[in-house]
Amino acid sequence: MQSDLDIARSIPLRPLSDLAQAWGLDPARLEPHGRWMAKVDHRLGANPGKARLVLVTAITPTPAGEGKTVHTIGLSLALNRIGRRAAATIRQPSMGPVFGIKGGAAGGGFSQVLPMEDINLHLTGDFHAVTAAHNLMAAALDTSLLLDNPLGIDPERVRIQRVLDVNDRALREVEVGLGGEKNGVPRRAGFEITSASEVMAILGLARDLPDMRARLGRIVVAERPDGSAVTAEDLGVAGAMAALLVRALDPTLLQTTEGTPALVHTGPFANIAHGNSSVVADLVASTFCEFVVTEAGFGADMGAEKFFGIKSRASSLQASAALLVATVRALKTHSGRYEVRPGRPLPENLFEPCVEALAEGCANLDAQVANVRAHGVPVVVAINRFPSDSDEEIALVRERALAAGAREALVSEVHGRGGAGGEALAHAIVAAAESGEARPRSVYDLEQGLEAKLEALATRLYGAEGVDLSEVARDQAAALEAQGAGRLPICVAKTQYSLSHDPSLKGRPTGFRLPIRGLRLAAGAGFVVAYAGEIMTMPGLGRTPAYRQVDLDDQGRVLGLF
């Protein structure tokens, strides 16, 4: 059986200048990075086209896999096969998961963006630019704090961490400024993964350079003893940060396994960030396509909600339809009957037909279809078929999806057959997008208070009975609302493995309350982050990390990526 890397290397690539011309993109608006990658001038998105936007989301993820990125790419291939010009916009993989458990995120099988090794390793350097800009801001803050503290920063109220695009649990909590008075003011600090940086969120939500520059200046880096904000603009570092990011605002153009365009831009992680493809990538793609297939991270309670609640509000982008991806084996996992752990082989009995377990696990499918419908968009379910799936199991998933409110539910084989394996899905998505049914909305109004917004998310999407703010979170909410931040959208940081805050609660949990332990203002990104449960913003490596499989052959080619 061919690996994803083997398939990727078997596909002949066409020059990007030829691809661009075939799609009406002026090659003069491209900045080549080698032979197969090019930055696209973000200013093309200033005059967006009338392309229909299709949002790709999924059931709650499990170690058994779902296939969102595969279907973002595969659906774009299928749309082109039925004569509808389409491009995919996907998020750039973080090297933390690439070398951790998850592996790469360039699609899979015959629905990939190429070259997959470049996408998963550095690409055109955007993550490094974000890391550098963020850490320059952190260095400027600590320097200002040491050198007479002219801004009156309270060392106990520093609001930013440093970032790194590596899973490194040892850096979650650190002490800085040790070793003498010339080394800074000693204080407790820590690191987050680069995708969780507010700078990354700004890159994903900004429409142009002036917008990005203004947002960077609004980042709250610390507070004074009276609670007033100190910003990156106050530090005088926002301009230098923008200079580091000027090229990073341009999305990267690549090609799929079937020679169609794909734009890769900004970071993943809808559990600790907004986790969507960038505004700029979608706008640029709309200028040369009829359909833009855009990716949202993790389940519909996370990435899809943040698309409607944050991304749409920060842009002119509205979805005409949604594709929700599910697999039989992942839904069976949601029954709670199987011992499934990240980084470990799936249990053998998961591959045996079990309609009873599937029926129990389909409660998660019910919830996630309802979550998309709650945002006013018609949804088509893609049943990502594996060889072990029985016809009876497939029929049950389809029946449950339709009963839950899906417009259609169809078997997908885009992994094994590329666009040809998704033509029925493509026809269903076109019908949904052109039906006029879409009335996109968020599940809360911006005029509601922060706690009321959290209550709406918890009860309407997660299935909680309500929210419980810690004393710290309640004080923070009051302070944020006093500062005028109460009308901002909410970006909930919680586990991706459950509709709740507790990863052990599978399926469609009930009878719980959502604990909010803290809130943080992301003024530049334009939202308030709410931390639910024990979610961490710096992942760690496990006992069998993926980097152990990665190496080079005698020709210098990368081995072991998946």
Give the pLDDT confidence of 51-95 residue by residue, as tens digits: 999 999 999 998 877 899 999 999 999 999 999 999 999 999 998
Give the pLDDT confidence of 287-340 residue by residue, as tens digits: 999 999 999 999 999 999 999 999 999 998 999 999 999 999 999 999 999 888
Does residue 552 lie in a domain region? no
Domain boundary among 390, 406, 433: 433
- Whether residue 182 sits in one domain with residue 86: no
With 80 as the cut, is the pLDDT of residue 105 above it?
no
- Whether residue 120 sits in one domain with residue 131: no
Does residue 539 lie in a domain region? no
Nearest of 386, 400, 396, 391 to residue 351 by alpha carbon = 386
Does residue 551 lie in a domain region? no
Angle between helices 471-482 and 450-457 (to 10 degrees): 120
Mean pLDDT of 101-116: 85
What domain range includes position 191? 126-244
- Whether residue 285 sits in one domain with residue 226: no
- Whether residue 499 sits in one domain with residue 391: no
Half-sphere exposure of 208 (CA within 13 A, CB side): 7
- Whether residue 415 sits in one domain with residue 273: yes
Q: Provide the pLDDT confidence category of residue 146 given band limits of 50, 70 and 90.
A: very high
Give the pLDDT confidence of 169-218 residue by residue, as tens digits: 999 999 999 999 899 999 999 999 999 999 999 999 999 999 999 999 99
Give the pLDDT confidence of 437-492 residue by residue, as tens digits: 999 999 999 999 999 999 999 999 999 999 999 999 999 999 999 999 999 999 99
- Whether residue 515 sits in one domain with residue 382: no
- Whether residue 312 sits in one domain with residue 288: yes
With 70 as the cut, is the pLDDT of residue 1 above it?
no
Does residue 160 lie in a domain region? yes
- Whether residue 259 sits in one domain with residue 178: no
Residue 171 DSSP class: G
Mean pLDDT of 387-394: 95
CATH number at residue 506: 3.10.410.10
Q: Provide the pLDDT confidence category of residue 4 given band limits of 50, 70 and 90.
A: confident
- Whether residue 173 sits in one domain with residue 102: no
Contacts with 195 (C-beta within 8 Å, 6 or more apart), sequence order: 94, 96, 165, 267, 268, 269, 272, 273
Q: Please state, as a whole number, how many other Cβ atoms lie within 10 Å of the Cβ of residue 229.
A: 18
- Whether residue 132 sits in one domain with residue 237: yes
Residue 124 token pair: 């055109």
Angle between helices 198-205 and 209-218 (to 10 degrees): 150
Contacts with 240 (C-beta within 8 Å, 6 or more apart), sequence order: 133, 136
DSSP string, 323-351: EEEE-HHHHHHTTT-S---TTSPPPGGGG
Does residue 555 lie in a domain region? no
- Whether residue 155 sits in one domain with residue 260: no
Does residue 134 lie in a domain region? yes
Q: Please state, as a whole number, how many other Cβ atoms lie within 10 Å of the Cβ of residue 212.
A: 25
Residue 93 DSSP class: P
Do the Cβ atoms of 144 and 150 come closer than 8 Å? yes
- Average pLDDT, whole number, for the chain? 94
Number of domains in the chain: 3
Domain boundary among 190, 211, 244: 244
pTM, two decimal places: 0.95
Least confident of 125-134, 500-509, 540-549: 540-549
Mean pLDDT of 161-167: 96
Residue 9 token pair: 């290397």
- Whether residue 143 sits in one domain with residue 117: no
**Cα–Cα separations (whole angstroms), residue 493 to 42, 266, 295:** 29, 18, 18
